[in-house]
Structure 1
Amino acid sequence: MGFPGVWMTESESMIYRVVPKCACSTIGQIMYYSDHGRFFDGDIHDATEGLHKWSLDHSQGPIERAVQSHDALTFTCVRNPYARILSSFFDKIAGIQRNGRRYRGNLVPQLVQRYGIDVGSPENGFQFDQIASFRRFLLFARDTIRFRKPMEPDIHWSAMSGHISTFIVNGGRYDRIFFTETFDEGMGQVLAESDTRVALDLADVPRFNESEGHGPKRAHRVSDYFDDLSRHLVWEIYKDDFQLFRYDFNNPDNKMPLAEVDLDEVHAKLGR
């Protein structure tokens, strides 16, 4: 199976397990800059040079050797599950992608037909009932993850623990797991402990969010989107994410983690 979702600098200074909707574009650009002294011109997910990715055939050998030798600092980044699933909805379902189209072509029309979701349009200023539509999307996301119907779960809303576990199960080990909510502190520690070619100041790094400005803005506080049923579904989908990464299930408006991640616990529970 190898190491899907893993990126590594060409200098082999750091190895990163991508977790979608957890600052992955910014992290990839920082890794690229740390080797080349410039950011990639475009979406880092489209880069086929300047950064090793498991999805590129020529990168698999170097990544596998580096993971097995564990000479490079290895890390990933996580995010509050409430905020992450909301971000997935507003970006991938309600938003327009950078190619000017809806995400995955016919996905949104399917959701309109099967789940009664309304996401508005650029023509009406994305006017729709955000809370009602999000709750219906959450039911759909649960169906994909729990029952794999009406489609396989998408990487943007499948559990973080699932992404992170594949690396462990296949023989990798993380040195750091930090929080999107304290990004500069966590990424700063990664850079400080990595033998990078080019130094950079995180205060000067832009936030790379390719979908920003191409869809509706969230109109309500986080807790307004999650009634009792919605929170039950969130717990069903993301129980491991809340527990392993120390997020507050009881208060959706508290985006901050309650404690640091216990790496030994993560490796023990996700390495089975």
Structure 2
Amino acid sequence: MPFPGVWMTESESMIYRVVPKCACSSIGQIMFYSDHGRYFDGDIHDSRDGLHKWSQDHSQQPIDQAVRGHTALTFTCVRNPYSRILSSFFDKIAGIQRNGKRYRGNLLPQLAQRYGVDVGSPENGFEFDQIASFRRFLLFARDTIRWRRPMEPDIHWSAVSSHVATFIANGGRYDQIFFTEDFDAGMQRALDAAETPVPVDVAQVPRFNESEGHGPKRAHKISEYFDDLSRHLMWEIYKRDFQLFRYDFDDPDRRGPKGEVDLDEIHRKLGE
């Protein structure tokens, strides 16, 4: 059975289902450190050794065996749909990537032509109407997810529940699911429940935000980006995320969840 998006420490102490835009860089670096006592030099997504990844052929057998045998602490991390889709927009659409180029090459010209999205440029200080362009991008994201056009949905704005569900559907089971909004406490609980070769104090871990400083800053509070139509689209795309992970659909500015996740409910509903 395939387990796309799964990372595991080489010591097989922890298994993590990656969810893009949910602190995955920090989690990967913490897992790397928990084995080696040092952080990976660079973006953890670029590592080719020191951390098992399903995308690496040599990692697939050990990951498959550990998942099937449930021999390691297995977890993932989720995020409020409102802040996550905004982060995706400012990073992947409005921002410049680590390689100095726009994300996915011709994506932005296509968004400009078909949806009227304008995100400015480094030359003009990224001056643009953030609210109008974000709402147009949200329509595009809905079209990719609902209709799979003008392209397949991207992993950075596909629903969190969809990422989480593939692991369950293929035979995996989570021990813990915690929130990006309470990252330190959730990550520490996962580490405390695992037997890692190197102890980690999450409070001392630097933040690994690879997109920081490469694009415009968000100029408004979260709720100002979402009018009635935008919120209707959010419910259409992310209804299951709001419900399963207990986020407040009615108050976009309430970042944290209204309660803890119910692991049994998540496995039941996402395993259907």
> Within 5 Å, which residues of 2 pair with 1:162-177?
162-177=162-177
1:94 aligns with 2:69: no
1:78 aligns with 2:78: yes
1:193 aligned partner: 193
1:226 aligns with 2:194: no
> TM-score normalised to the size of structure 1?
1.00
2:53 aligned partner: 53
Deviation at 1:250, TM superposition (A): 0.2
In 2: Cα distance, 1:236 partner to 1:120 partner: 29
| AA partner of residue 42 (structure 2) | G
Deviation digits for residues 87-145 of structure 1 (CA, Å, limit 9, x no counterpart): 00000000000100000000001000110000000000000000000000000000000
1:257 aligns with 2:262: no
1:125 aligned partner: 125
In 2: Cα distance, 1:248 partner to 1:203 partner: 27
1:104 aligned partner: 104
Q: Secondary structure at the match of 1:63?
A: helix
| AA partner of residue 166 (structure 2) | T
In 1: Cα distance, 2:100 partner to 2:211 partner: 10
| AA partner of residue 171 (structure 2) | G
1:67 aligned partner: 67
| AA partner of residue 202 (structure 2) | L
1:36 aligned partner: 36
| AA partner of residue 205 (structure 2) | V
Structure 1 gaps, min length 5: none
Deviation at 1:204, TM superposition (A): 1.3
In 2: Cα distance, 1:200 partner to 1:263 partner: 25
Deviating beyond 2 angstroms after TM superposition, the runs of 4 or more aligned structure 1 residues are: none
Deviation digits for residues 176-223 of structure 1 (CA, Å, limit 9, x no counterpart): 000000001100000000000001211111110111000000000000
> TM-score normalised to the size of structure 2?
1.00
Structure 2 gaps, min length 5: none
Identity %, equivalent residues = 79
Deviation digits for residues 49-85 of structure 1 (CA, Å, limit 9, x no counterpart): 0000000000000000000110100000000000000
Q: Aligned pair count?
A: 272
Q: Secondary structure at the match of 2:3?
A: coil
Q: Secondary structure at the match of 2:178?
A: strand
2:18 aligned partner: 18
2:152 aligned partner: 152
In 1: Cα distance, 2:247 partner to 2:203 partner: 26
In 2: Cα distance, 1:162 partner to 1:87 partner: 18
In 2: Cα distance, 1:226 partner to 1:200 partner: 38
In 1: Cα distance, 2:72 partner to 2:79 partner: 23
1:236 aligned partner: 236
2:141 aligned partner: 141
1:271 aligned partner: 271
| AA partner of residue 170 (structure 1) | N
Q: Secondary structure at the match of 2:197?
A: coil
| AA partner of residue 136 (structure 2) | R
In 1: Cα distance, 2:14 partner to 2:188 partner: 13
Q: Secondary structure at the match of 1:77?
A: strand
Deviation at 1:5, TM superposition (A): 0.2
| AA partner of residue 241 (structure 1) | D
| AA partner of residue 112 (structure 1) | A
In 1: Cα distance, 2:200 partner to 2:270 partner: 33
In 2: Cα distance, 1:143 partner to 1:206 partner: 37
Deviation digits for residues 216-248 of structure 1 (CA, Å, limit 9, x no counterpart): 000000000000000000000000000000000
In 2: Cα distance, 1:251 partner to 1:49 partner: 42
CA RMSD, 1 decimal: 0.5
| AA partner of residue 189 (structure 1) | R
